[in-house]
C-alpha cells in the first residue's frame, strides 16, 4: 500500500468513526458503515480491524460503554433502562452484562460508588478498568517538575469551527513524545497549505458553574500561543456544558 492509498484509507475509516460517534444511540449495520467508507462489507471489516486495532463491533461497544459510564457520573438519577437504550443497547440485561465485563461492576454499583467523595470521577472508573493509566509526570515530560495551576473558570459559547485532525487510538498519559509526533505530523500537513495553527485542540473520548451540567460531548484542551521562558504554556481545559 503506497502513502497516497494509505492516506485515503485513513480518511475513509475516520469518516466512519465520526459517524459512529454521532450515532451511538442508534442501530448501525455493517452494510451501512461499509457504504459510508466506500468499501465492500468484507474488505471494510478486515481493514477497520487492521487500522483501529479492534473489530468494528468491539469499537462500537467500547464507545457505547464509555459514554454510559460518563452519563452515570453526570446524571446519577437517570434510570439504567433509559441509559441503556440511549446508548444503543438492545436491553438493560445486555447493557449490564457488557458493563460489568468491561468495568468489573454493575452500572448501579458504579453509580453508587461514584456518589462517594472517595471515588467520584469517571477517570477513576476507567483507570481501575485498565483503560487509562495513571499520570506519570507533568505535560513537560518531567517527573521532577510540576507547575502550580491557578485556573479561572468561565462559561463561553464557542462558534462552529472547521478543523483538521489526526486521530490516535491507544494509551497516551505521560507520553510527551507521542504528542510531539502528532503535532509534528499535523504541522507538516498544515504548513504547506497555509492552515492556521495558532489555536489547536486535543479532544478526548475516554473520560461549573451553578445552573449548568455536563453535556453529552467529550472534553477537550485548547492551546494558543507559545511557551514562556520556563517552558509553560497556557491551556484551556474545556468541558462542554448545557443549561439545566
pLDDT tens, residue by residue, 57-95: 999 999 999 888 888 877 788 899 999 999 999 999 999
Q: Lowest mean pLDDT: which of 36-40, 100-104, 108-112, 149-153?
A: 149-153
Q: Does domain 3-128 have CATH number 3.10.129.10?
A: no
pLDDT: which is higher, 7 or 44: 44
| The three three-digit cell numbers of residue 114, written as one number | 461514584
Asked whether residue 9 carries a pLDDT value surpassing 70, the answer given is yes
CATH 1.10.10.60 location in the chain? 3-128
Start-end of H helices in 2-104: 3-22, 30-37, 41-52, 56-74, 80-86, 92-103
Report how far residue 142's alpha carbon sits from residue 82's, in angstroms, rounded to the nearest whole number. Answer: 44
Report how far residue 211's alpha carbon sits from residue 244's, in angstroms, rounded to the nearest whole number. Answer: 6
Q: Given this model, what pLDDT does residue 211 score?
A: 59
For residue range 185-230, list pLDDT tens digits in order: 888 888 878 888 777 777 766 543 345 566 767 777 777 666 777 7
Q: Given this model, what pLDDT does residue 213 score?
A: 62
- Partners of 201 in the beta sheet? 222
Short-list 33, 122, 128, CA closest to 70? 122
Q: Given this model, what pLDDT does residue 169 score?
A: 74
Asked whether residue 132 carries a pLDDT value surpassing 90, the answer given is no
Report how far residue 121's alpha carbon sits from residue 133's, in angstroms, rounded to the nearest whole number. Answer: 14
Report pTM.
0.56
Amino acid at each position: 500500500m503506497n502513502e497516497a492509498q494509505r492516506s485515503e484509507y485513513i480518511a475513509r475509516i475516520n469518516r466512519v468513526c465520526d459517524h459512529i460517534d454521532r450515532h451511538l444511540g442508534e442501530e448501525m449495520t455493517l452494510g451501512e458503515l461499509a457504504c459510508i467508507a466506500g468499501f465492500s462489507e468484507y474488505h471494510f471489516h478486515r481493514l477497520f480491524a487492521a487500522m483501529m486495532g479492534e473489530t468494528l463491533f468491539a469499537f462500537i461497544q467500547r464507545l457505547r460503554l464509555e459514554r454510559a459510564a460518563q452519563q452515570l457520573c453526570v446524571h446519577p438519577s437517570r434510570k439504567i433502562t433509559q441509559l441503556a437504550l440511549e446508548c444503543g443497547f438492545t436491553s438493560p440485561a445486555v447493557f449490564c452484562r457488557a458493563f460489568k465485563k468491561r468495568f468489573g461492576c454493575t452500572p448501579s454499583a458504579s453509580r453508587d460508588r461514584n456518589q462517594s467523595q472517595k471515588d467520584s470521577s469517571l477517570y477513576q472508573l476507567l483507570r481501575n478498568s485498565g483503560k487509562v493509566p495513571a499520570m506519570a509526570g507533568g505535560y513537560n515530560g518531567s517527573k521532577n517538575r510540576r507547575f502550580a495551576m491557578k485556573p479561572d473558570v468561565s462559561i463561553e459559547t464557542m462558534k462552529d469551527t472547521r478543523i483538521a485532525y489526526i486521530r490516535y487510538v491507544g494509551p497516551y498519559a505521560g507520553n510527551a513524545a507521542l504528542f510531539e509526533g502528532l503535532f509534528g505530523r499535523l504541522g507538516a500537513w498544515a504548513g504547506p497549505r497555509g492552515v492556521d495553527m495558532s489555536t489547536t485542540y486535543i479532544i478526548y473520548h475516554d473520560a461549573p458553574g451553578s445552573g449548568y451540567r455536563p453535556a453529552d460531548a467529550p472534553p477537550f484542551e485548547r492551546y494558543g500561543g507559545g511557551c514562556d521562558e520556563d517552558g509553560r504554556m497556557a491551556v484551556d481545559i474545556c468541558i462542554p456544558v448545557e443549561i439545566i
